[in-house]
Chains A and B, each alone.
Chain A
């Protein structure tokens, strides 16, 4: 029953969007409650989504999708998240988020009404495209042809609280760029004033913040669930999410130029189209099953072709309008050797190069396979050797960029920065002399700390410190950059100075980790609702009274016959003790201990970036 409601409301919502488009642009009906229809179709799409969720919650196995991807004895949260833990449901989630964005956009005040409608019409065209895609190739409301009492279960690796919320937030970022795309296209068509740039800025900040959160959740999940000790693997799917993220960051920065009346409209429109194109392209690559990854659900060629078609329509349409309706020529750039404009231009160029390099590296194996029928890999070493060096000038620049002036070449208080940099380099040199010297470690630490230090100098020497909201908004760019600096320090330390220890242990053995005695207490097996767990219990630092327990082990999911590893992590502010329980051989357990210094700094840095994103959204 709920499936029927869901399907009908989905189709009806698509119908309304068709009607809006036809009536307005083909038959030219002018009198209609435009916003009412847009909101109504959004609510219908949401109804459709929630009826699918309802089917999951009550384990309605007469729905084929639920039967394929759910099981009645899962905890409630995974029944809910199971809604988007599969291809069909996740596409419906995509469409629902698109509707939510349209819904909220229809409430935006202070913009030209006809401009708003044009934007929403483009949104509803996108709604039609993705809606038809769902109905024809990925319908989540198909009826199960056989009568069953039990479902096949959700991939156990996805049964995790972090991953339950990761897709909606990530999609919020991806799909958020749809509204930026629509705004840019509408801006091209109307080509009147620059008011739309401010609107675009707000929405691109929202999307970027959501995307940041989504990516961070994904990599945090990879950190503790995959049990490989790292949190970023240059996996194709990670790269795909990184591309719109960097392009979106470039967009946010070039929208800053609006403030200095230096906006290059052409470039902004180009980036807006690019961001959404990359999002759709990413969806195509993941969903078509061309890339093998944790994310590829059952692959189906027809879906891939359909999404590829949507990608070509969206990108082709976008760039065609871009070429035909070129924006009016804007002011000449006031590029000096070092002023805010040149810093922003350089930043944009570097980010686009990084995006394109990641794009090439990600699709290069596919190109080679098609051309030479040979399989090759393009992995972490390639990206580390290309993307990171390219970004380094940008990192250097971002330390002082926010205080550069629009018009002149001068840097305020330049002596303080030079002095700060010299002292910092000496400190980092000394540090790296006493620890093992490592080129990347040296560069990373210097850069990270330099960004933090320069931003702090800038805050205290350029502004009067006050505790008002206005002040928080003014120093926000510096805060965001401090977040990046902290993250760079964390990334550098955790990847360069990671330490690994291997042990073969019996229960009751004691072993030494960084001078702290750890006791391997016992192995425990328990039966949970939907899995069996095997846990090794470790007591960290037993010589102190407050020793901490770490549990590392594996879970076995009988429904899908899969084993997942569950790393045991002890978080400390300056390091993570990361324990992986291996296999048992000759009565001894293999235990791998990773000491990851300053991992917490990565998450702290990301949280600061998200915070800055939110503050920037609130700024008018």
Chain B
């Protein structure tokens, strides 16, 4: 009887996952892609504001450029590369994952692993 409930539950879960995957891979429209990209770009003429949030002239220009490039089928990577060549890496709020920034990106996860080891070693001795 209990097992029966479990099967029903797992069916529900599996079905919902199938629905979700459809939702996730649904094609994003162009405005959403512009938003996603420009949220990660710095408005160079403002103080610590993203291009998406800003209404400065600079930001509006970049928004137009990004939109056109996306319409032409360029990838986000290419657009970022183009902007970095033009304005420098300073424009990217998300630092590039390259050789130079390897420390920046790996640091938290190295700490996490060290912390995990610490807990495991400390708790090994007195397991019940």
Segment from A25-33, A52-60, A320-328, A354-362 that makes contact with B: A354-362
For the complex formed, measure the closest distance between the CB of B28 and the CB atoms of chain A, giving whole angstroms: 11
Closest to A385 in B: B94
Is the CB–CB distance between B122 and A333 below 8 Å? yes
5 intermolecular pairs with C-beta atoms under 8 Å apart: A294-B47, A345-B119, A364-B95, A377-B92, A378-B104
Is the CB–CB distance between A374 and B55 below 8 Å? no
- Does A2 make an interface contact (CB < 8 A)? no
- Does A574 make an interface contact (CB < 8 A)? no
- Does B126 make an interface contact (CB < 8 A)? yes
Closest to B104 in A: A364
Is the CB–CB distance between B12 and A426 below 8 Å? yes
Is the CB–CB distance between A353 and B111 below 8 Å? yes
Closest to B53 in A: A228
Contacts of A360 in B (CB 8 A): 104, 107-108
Is the CB–CB distance between B93 and A380 below 8 Å? yes
Is the CB–CB distance between A376 and B20 below 8 Å? no
A-B contact number at CB 8 A: 119
- Does B24 make an interface contact (CB < 8 A)? yes
The interface bits of chain A over 345-372 (1 if a CB of B lies within 8 angstroms of the residue's CB, else 0) are 1100110110011001100100010001
- Does B76 make an interface contact (CB < 8 A)? no
- Does B91 make an interface contact (CB < 8 A)? yes
- Does A336 make an interface contact (CB < 8 A)? yes
Report the count of interface residues on A (CB-CB < 8 A): 56
Q: How far is the CA of A387 from the CA of B111 in the complex (A)?
A: 12
Best-buried of B39, B40, B88, B108 by chain A (most CB within 10 Å): B108
Closest to A229 in B: B53
4 additional contacts (CB under 8 A) given A292-B48, A381-B93: A333-B122, A356-B107, A382-B104, A386-B105
B:65-119 near A, CB below 8 Å: 88-95, 100, 104-105, 107-108, 111-112, 115, 118-119
Contact of A335 among B48, B88, B112, B126 (CB under 8 A): B126
- Does A429 make an interface contact (CB < 8 A)? yes
Contact of A233 among B49, B108, B112, B119 (CB under 8 A): B49
Closest to B120 in A: A335
Contacts of A422 in B (CB 8 A): 9
Is the CB–CB distance between B94 and A374 below 8 Å? no
For the complex formed, measure the closest distance between the CB of B6 and the CB atoms of chain A, giving whole angstroms: 11
Contacts of B50 in A (CB 8 A): 379-380
Is the CB–CB distance between A349 and B119 below 8 Å? yes
- Does A337 make an interface contact (CB < 8 A)? yes
Q: How far is the CA of A235 from the CA of B50 in the complex (A)?
A: 11
Query: Taking A349-B115, A390-B112 as contacts, is the C-beta distance between A377 and B47 under 8 angstroms?
Result: no
Contact of B89 among A233, A377, A590 (CB under 8 A): A377
Is the CB–CB distance between A342 and B119 below 8 Å? yes
